Amino acid sequence: MCKNHEEFMREAIELSIKNIDTNGGPFGAVIVKEGKIIARGINKVTSNNDPTAHAEVNAIREAAAKLGTFDLKGCEIYSSCEPCPMCLGAIYWARLDKLYYANTKQDAKEIDFDDSFIYEELELPVEKRKIPTTQILRDEAIVAFNKWKDKADKLEY
């Protein structure tokens, strides 16, 4: 493995270790473009009272703001842990080129950061999920989708 890859991962790991005493959970991430770290993220779920403030999401937000784009093609993310379903989704939506991680989701499960229930829920039909879910007003909501579909000057993402 490239020495730079290890250096970038060590940075993510160091962020995860330092974060335990300052902001929350043991998670860190960095985003790299052209061999340089352009963004760092730590878990701030408890310090910000924000359940979406995971390290990867925070790093993505910082990189997108810094680059002035929602499309992070040409960038790679290094995460101290295998991303949860939300973060993995964000990584795909951001179009990052590659993901590197250190700890596994099983390692996280062993310290009570278990997201396996989310993967299991996603496989269930909507009516069998733990959170009661009901579709309403589709005929009214579809107006926005049809308007978007017909918009000639839309910025696709």
Half-sphere exposure of 144 (CA within 13 A, CB side): 4
* Pair of tokens at residue 138: 């589709």
Maximum CA extent, the chain? 55
Residue from 6, 11, 14, 56 carrying the catalytic annotation: 56
Active site residue 14: no
Give the sign of the dihedral formed by CA 15, CA 20, CA 21, CA 24.
positive
- CA 132 – CA 100 distance, rounded (Å): 35
3-state SS, residue 156? coil
Q: Please, are residues 5 and 34 in contact by the beta-carbon 8 Å criterion?
A: no
Burial of 115 per CB tally in 10 Å (0-12, 13-18, 19+): middle
Catalytic residues: 56
